[in-house]
Amino acid sequence: MKEAVEQILARLRDQKVEVPADEVESRLRLLVEKFGVPEAEASRSVVNYFLKEHGISPASFAARKSERVKVGEVNGPERWIDLEAKVVELWEATSSAISQTGLIGDETGTIKFVKWTKSDLPQLELGKSYLFKNVVTDEFQGRWSVKLNRTSGIEELASEVKAAEAPVGGAVQEMKISQISEPARWIDLRAKVVQLWEPTSETISQTGLIGDDSGVIKFVKWTKSELADLVEGESYLFKNVVTDEFDGRFSVKLNRTSKIEPLEVEVEVSPQEASFSGAIVDVQKGSGLIKRCPICRRMLTKGVCGEHGKQEGTYDLRIKAVLDDGQRVQEVLINRERTEGLVGISMEEAKTMAMEALDHEVVKGVIEERLLGRYYAVSGPTVDRYILVETISPVSPVAAREVADLAARMREVV
């Protein structure tokens, strides 16, 4: 907080505006601590407030402060700059307040950008080059970024800006999954495809989990990357992928600059173990009798694979369920073998049921009927938000009387 106050005072002094430090700190603390405004945004708000108080337009102030720099010259937050850069990558926005986000770059490196929805700026196109005018630098977890707001401008360039394939310095380090500790870093990984999921957007070619002997991590392969399909269970060298972070979880993104090389030696995966007890409160879509693409193992939808088109498919039986212990919930994945034992129907019986009913959903209905509301203890490796169930056994629900007795005994101890 002290450093932010000093930066605000310095910016105000540049405009010959003198304000007591305690007034700046008081307003900054109010925004950050009471209203939860990010410190960088709060700092800008405080500067704008005092500029207006002294008859100075924040927009004109910002325009006067901007300077033309290269991406590699960005070395501090709260700088108003101009950049000539190419749109290297566009990501899915995580908030309605964000119009677009991704990476832009020049020959000196790449940098994350955020274009706010309220900026009313034109949409950027992947691969095109622009002059970004009057953007403000920001910093998070030691990584620089630029923000485009209402005072910013975007002009498409006639000539292409040559963008580096990696950040400043061009060095891409090969590392283990457990060593990933920051977003917007370009790395190489040797990993095995643990699981493929259904993409949630047409912009995503494949998504799922990859792992090595240090852990597992989510990956996203963008459709525009035009990279070859990954196969579940196969091991690869993933070159020049970029790390990302959301809600405290890291992931890696594969884009046009990435490369995929199959490995002859299988990568050993060592996910963490977990256990959980609770009632099954939901059997999710995609449970029961399903068909998978024989090429990528993705679940087919009406006989069609999103990547490989119409396929005959191979049958599988599984359960995707949610357990609730009264305080938190846990998603679990139960494979064919354990599903057969738990529900009491075999794959062949499930296929017969589906054919007689002319509907695969009948199997999901049986699973729900036999499992919903029942209590189980599960254990197995954790893969992202799921426990891959290796052991599952029924448990008795805790009676209200037992809870009261336990609470009484705890009071006696205290």
Distance of CA 412 to the CA centre of its chain: 47
Q: What is the mean pLDDT of residues 192-211?
A: 85
At residue 414, the pLDDT reads 44
At residue 167, the pLDDT reads 47
At residue 61, the pLDDT reads 56
User: Which letter, b or e, does each residue of 68-77 get, where b requires 16 or more Cβ atoms within 10 Å of its Cβ?
Assistant: ebebbebeeb
- Separation between Cα atoms, residue 161 and residue 70, nearest integer Å: 11
At residue 248, the pLDDT reads 62
CATH of 66-156, one of 3.60.110.10, 3.90.1150.10, 3.40.50.920, 2.40.50.140: 2.40.50.140
> What's the whole-number average pLDDT of the chain?
84
At residue 168, the pLDDT reads 42
Give the pLDDT band (50/70/90) at residue 147: very high
Q: Give residue-wise pLDDT tens across range 209-265.
A: 899 998 888 899 988 888 999 998 999 999 989 888 765 678 899 988 789 999 999
Pairing of strands 309-310, 386-388: unpaired
User: Percentage of the chain with pLDDT > 70?
Assistant: 87
**Amino acid letter at 10?**
A
Q: What is the mean pLDDT of residues 120-142?
A: 87
Give the pLDDT band (50/70/90) at residue 79: confident
First and final C-alpha spacing in the chain: 41
Please report, for residues 5, 16, 43, 48, 185, the alpha-carbon distance to residue 10 in angstroms, rounded to integers and kept in the order given. 9, 10, 12, 14, 31
Residue 276 DSSP SS3: strand
More confident site: 194 or 238: 238
At residue 63, the pLDDT reads 47
Give the pLDDT band (50/70/90) at residue 398: low
Q: What is the mean pLDDT of residues 108-126?
A: 89
66-156 and 173-262: identical CATH topology: yes
At residue 401, the pLDDT reads 52
| Cβ neighbourhood burial of 278 (10 Å; 0-12, 13-18, 19+) | buried
pTM for this predicted structure: 0.45
Give the pLDDT band (50/70/90) at residue 82: very high
Question: Does residue 376 contact residue 394 with C-beta atoms inside 8 Å?
Answer: yes
At residue 60, the pLDDT reads 54
E-state strands within 25-169 = 67-68, 80-91, 98-106, 109-116, 129-140, 143-148, 153-156
- 173-262: CATH topology: OB fold (Dihydrolipoamide Acetyltransferase, E2P) (2.40.50)
At residue 59, the pLDDT reads 58
Among 89-98, 217-226, 382-391, the range scoring the smallest mean pLDDT is 89-98
Most confident listed range (158-167, 347-356, 378-387): 347-356
More confident site: 369 or 53: 369
At residue 349, the pLDDT reads 94
At residue 397, the pLDDT reads 73
Among 100-104, 227-231, 280-284, 299-303, the range scoring the smallest mean pLDDT is 299-303
At residue 170, the pLDDT reads 43
Q: Where are the domains of the chain?
A: 2-63, 66-156, 173-262, 273-394
More confident site: 165 or 297: 297
At residue 169, the pLDDT reads 37
| pLDDT surpasses 80 at 58 | no
Q: What is the mean pLDDT of residues 62-71?
A: 71
| pLDDT surpasses 70 at 403 | no
Give the pLDDT band (50/70/90) at residue 197: confident
Give the pLDDT band (50/70/90) at residue 6: confident
Q: What are the phi and psi torsion angles at 99 (to 5°)?
A: -80, -50
User: Percentage of the chain with pLDDT > 90?
Assistant: 38
- Identify the CA nearest to 89 among candidates 39, 125, 130: 125
Q: Structurally, what CATH architecture does the domain formed by 273-394 represent?
A: Beta Barrel (2.40)
Could you write out the DSSP letters of every residue in 165-222? SSSTT---EE--GGG--SSS-EEEEEEEEEEEE--SSTTEEEEEEEEETTEEEEEEEE
